[in-house]
Amino acid sequence: MAAVVDCSALLRAAAPEAASAGVVVVTGGEPDLRCCTDRRARQLDLVQFLLGSGPCVEAARGRTARANTTEIRTHWPDFALCARTLHVHSFLCAPLLLDDEVVATLDLYGDRSYAFDRIDEHRMAGLTGAATAALRRGAAPLAPPRRRRTLR
């Protein structure tokens, strides 16, 4: 669990315009909110998965989503009211892929429209790539421990 919390702090450092951030683990297509920087990020992630629409859901489907207020209203009208109520005006959500399967989403939320740009999107791609490499190293099969002969 500590690594996920560190990942959330890293997300906010990677995009200084992020007011909030969250990490959602996806197992068998089901979301599991693992950590968030604040209550607002938690509500945003939960509502998106309850509605089945929003930028975080797009990331869970394998597509990076960067959106501002207008795009949120156009693409995810059911979710737009929640975003407006919580004063979130921009999103950057990216999938974390392992062997072509989404294992998590990394979600950034901004207080102003157009808080994230292509540079932030590239940073996020680098971050998800680094996280995938770390997961791959951690998921590599370990050699069985060598047995020692003991003298009796």
Tens of pLDDT along 74-111? 999 999 999 999 999 999 999 999 888 999 999 999 99
* pLDDT given for residue 16 in this prediction: 79
Beta bridge partners of 90: 68, 110
Tens of pLDDT along 113-123? 999 999 999 98
pLDDT tops 70 at residue 148: no
In this structure, are residues 113 and 69 in contact, taking their beta carbons and an 8 Å threshold? yes
* pLDDT given for residue 139 in this prediction: 56
CATH H-level superfamily of 2-135: GAF domain (3.30.450.40)
pLDDT tops 50 at residue 149: no
Tens of pLDDT along 40-74? 999 999 999 999 999 999 999 999 999 998 999 99
* pLDDT given for residue 99 in this prediction: 87
Question: Please, which pLDDT band fits residue 152 given cuts at 50, 70 and 90?
Answer: very low
pLDDT tops 50 at residue 144: no
